[in-house]
Amino acid sequence: MLTMPVTVEIIGNGIRRADFQTVYNIFNQADRIFSTFRDDSEISRINRGEISIHQASPTLRYVLALAEATKKDTSGYFDIHRPDGLDPLGIVKGWMINEAAKELRRRGFKNFFIEVGGDIQADGLSEEGKKWQVGIRNPFNKEEIIKVVELSAFGIATSGTYERGRHIYNPKKDFDEANKIVSLTVIGSDVYEADRFATAAFAMGEKGIQFIEKLPDFEGYMINRNGVATLTTGWKKHEIH
């Protein structure tokens, strides 16, 4: 069993419990459709051959289309196809955080963050009137933060070796390369973009950081097994420590 912490913080006036409930509902709905850990999810039914993709809900078909587009965008390094069926978690997490953020914006909130399992969408400012201060966890010691970045209207996602069980899947099987990298954090225009590219770039191993470097407006911080980090050229503009 994999557990993922979820944190939602909203700053503003007139915040009601229902505003959090709507975020919860979006995640719960995503779970009902996409969780491979649930026998009754749509994705599990597809994987068992009970329904075809064409019979699936518009949401599921839409996210599978996003996954296919991402596969093309990443030269095949992002791939939800597994020997035992489809596993869309690598794209669903960022997508559902992004959908929840859109809903909070529709409700008029400008200052908030939403975090699921270390992937974050940060909008506006914190209660102190500053950009959100986001720490990056030491992949060798979860008690430590090894970097602090300031974000407003950005998404950030980290892929790491611990996730590789199912989430990070290397379709090209060059595992020796990927195993040298223990963590890759990506900052992008939103958490959906950051998450899908972090997932794909992590599967590329050491050259993943070069992939992020080439993406306009994306920055990355890659840590190898020796504890040495490689930074994209624009990373420092987000960094405060």
For other proteins, the binding residues in 139-178 under the rule CB under 8 A are: 139-148, 156-158, 160-163, 176-177
Measured from the CB atom, the residue of 79 and 119 that comes closer to other proteins is 119
Binding region for other proteins (CB under 8 A) out of 24-32, 55-63, 70-78, 99-107:
24-32
Q: Which residues pair with 186 in a beta bridge?
A: 157, 220
Window 74 to 103, contacts with other proteins (CB under 8 A): 89, 92-93, 96
Window 180 to 199, contacts with other proteins (CB under 8 A): 180, 182-183, 185
In terms of Cβ atoms closer than 10 Å to its own Cβ (0-12, 13-18, 19+), residue 85 is middle
Measured from the CB atom, the residue of 11 and 215 that comes closer to other proteins is 11
Interface residue with other proteins among 119, 123, 190, 219 (CB under 8 A) is 119
Query: What is the distance between the alpha carbons of residues 150 and 138, in angstroms, rounded to a whole number?
Result: 17
Query: What is the distance between the alpha carbons of residues 117 and 102, in angstroms, rounded to a whole number?
Result: 19
Binding region for other proteins (CB under 8 A) out of 47-55, 56-64, 66-74, 121-129:
121-129
35 binds other proteins (CB under 8 A): yes
44 binds other proteins (CB under 8 A): no
For residues 216 and 203, the answer to whether their CB atoms sit within 8 Å is no
Interface residue with other proteins among 22, 47, 126, 170 (CB under 8 A) is 126
In terms of Cβ atoms closer than 10 Å to its own Cβ (0-12, 13-18, 19+), residue 74 is buried
Interface residue with other proteins among 23, 64, 67, 101 (CB under 8 A) is 23
Binding region for other proteins (CB under 8 A) out of 48-56, 74-82, 99-107, 112-120:
112-120
Q: What is the CA 182 to chain-centroid distance, rounded?
A: 16
Measured from the CB atom, the residue of 50 and 144 that comes closer to other proteins is 144
Query: What is the distance between the alpha carbons of residues 164 and 227, in angstroms, rounded to a whole number?
Result: 19
